[in-house]
Amino acid sequence: MRGGLWQLGQSITRRLAQADKKTIGRRCFASDADLKKTVLYDFHVVNGGKMVPFAGWSMPIQYKDSIMDSTVNCRENGSLFDVSHMCGLSLKGKDTIPFLEKLVIADVAGLAPGTGSLTVFTNEKGGAIDDSVVTKVTNDHIYLVVNAGCRDKDLAHIEEHMKSFKSKGGDVSWHIHDERSLLALQGPLAAPVLQYLTKDDLSKMYFGEFRVLDINGAPCFLTRTGYTGEDGFEISVPSENALDLAKALLEKSEGKIRLTGLGARDSLRLEAGLCLYGNDMEQHITPVEAGLTWAIGKRRRAEGGFLGAEVILKQIEEGPKIRRVGFFSSGPPPRSHSEIQDSNGQNIGEITSGGFSPCLKKNIAMGYVKTGNHKAGTNVKIVIRGKSYDGVVTKMPFVPTKYYKQ
């Protein structure tokens, strides 16, 4: 078991480093002095956090417990993640929605106020610039959270199009929430523990919904969402209140909710079949190929109007040439870029994320294969360090999701 845990940790560390290198170049080799720190940095260190470079930040990959144990604990009890390295921003103005709909695939106009959805920023070729959760606070206020490693790229992209839009008379402005920190509270104890710290009735708040409310005495943005497949919340809190809130959440859980790092966050999202940008989504992969066609609203499919719409809508009509699928496999855990072959030894794709599932106690992976080889039950070979091992295409998520829905 010790060897298995070590391999799991090494696998996740490599996978995160690979995504980091793709998104921010060689900055992953920056010295400690060059790395940014969240306001909880000292709190992580005091609690045994093993800090590693990620997307230009010093972030905890794990704490005193193993990655396997913390993954399982999230599903059985709960986890508290510091995700303040991610970038929250607000777009405001009467033309905010038409502006944003030029850049993303979501039907933002169709969202009810106080609700949100996963979406994708696309380029002119239909590829994914980044994935994001977009929330309609009101008809003239949109709240977004984008990935840390894509921050500079995303903000430059938004700003370029905003300047053009405003030059033609469009009313839109933005605010980047660098004054706030972001905590992710995930797992079956997330709601009952958070309820101790707010007067709002969380039982009436469902997956994808957003509120501005007081939590532990601080004005917070609360979204019922997450990156684990579990019920949970992302809490945007003024940075001066972040440490007190983190301590209060851990205290109210009586030790059952634990501080959790990037290692378990990665294994949890893989078990939930969720993409890691830089591995499973990149600028040459479209939302259709990534299995995110459901995120393209019906009206958007009819009208288009977003970057790369012609390519994406054609793929919806005709079908994509490649598709993201899940795998179970034998042998060592698959790694990013492991070759996928059919039964005749012909290359049909490659793995983008893979590892040993702490909850299922077996190898899981996702990757892209040529259409025709994507159906569940299809037998494949996965090549790892020059040797081929049996694999089978399987549906995702690997672990059932537990989102809190009506």
Q: How much is the pTM?
A: 0.92
**pLDDT tens track for 97-151:** 999 999 999 999 999 999 999 999 999 999 999 999 999 999 999 999 999 999 9
Residues 6+ apart with CB under 8 A from 215: 194, 197, 198, 222, 235, 237, 245
Residues 6+ apart with CB under 8 A from 358: 8, 67, 68, 69, 71, 72, 264, 267, 271
Show the CA angle centred on residue 302, arms to residues 315 and 129, nearest 5°: 55
Q: What is the pLDDT of residue 18?
A: 54
**pLDDT tens track for 186-226:** 999 999 999 999 999 999 999 999 999 999 999 999 999 99
Query: What is the end-to-end Cα distance of the chain in Å, rounded?
Result: 40
Residue 15 exposure: Cα atoms within 13 Å on the Cβ side: 34
User: How crowded is residue 269: how many other Cβ atoms within 10 Å of its Cβ?
Assistant: 19
Strands (E), 20-152: 50-54, 57-62, 78-82, 87-92, 115-122, 128-138, 141-146
pLDDT value at 4 more than 80: no
Confidence of residue 29 (pLDDT cuts 50, 70, 90): very low
**pLDDT tens track for 224-279:** 999 999 999 999 999 999 999 999 999 999 999 999 999 999 999 999 999 999 99
β-strands 78-82, 257-259: how paired?
parallel
Q: What is the pLDDT of residue 223?
A: 98
Cα torsion 248, 38, 221, 185: sign:
negative
Confidence of residue 31 (pLDDT cuts 50, 70, 90): low
Tell me if 375 sits within 8 A of 393, measured CB to CB. Answer: yes
pLDDT value at 59 more than 50: yes
Q: Cis ω on the peptide bond leading into residue 332 (within 30° of 0)?
A: no
- The reply, when asked if residue 234 is annotated as ligand binding, is yes
Q: Is 317 exposed, middle or buried (0-12, 13-18, 19+ CB in 10 A)?
A: exposed
**pLDDT tens track for 302-315:** 999 999 999 999 99
CA distance 391 to 341: 10
Cross-strand pairs, 130: 121
Tell me if 141 sits within 8 A of 71, measured CB to CB. Answer: no
Q: What is the pLDDT of residue 33?
A: 75
pLDDT value at 90 more than 50: yes
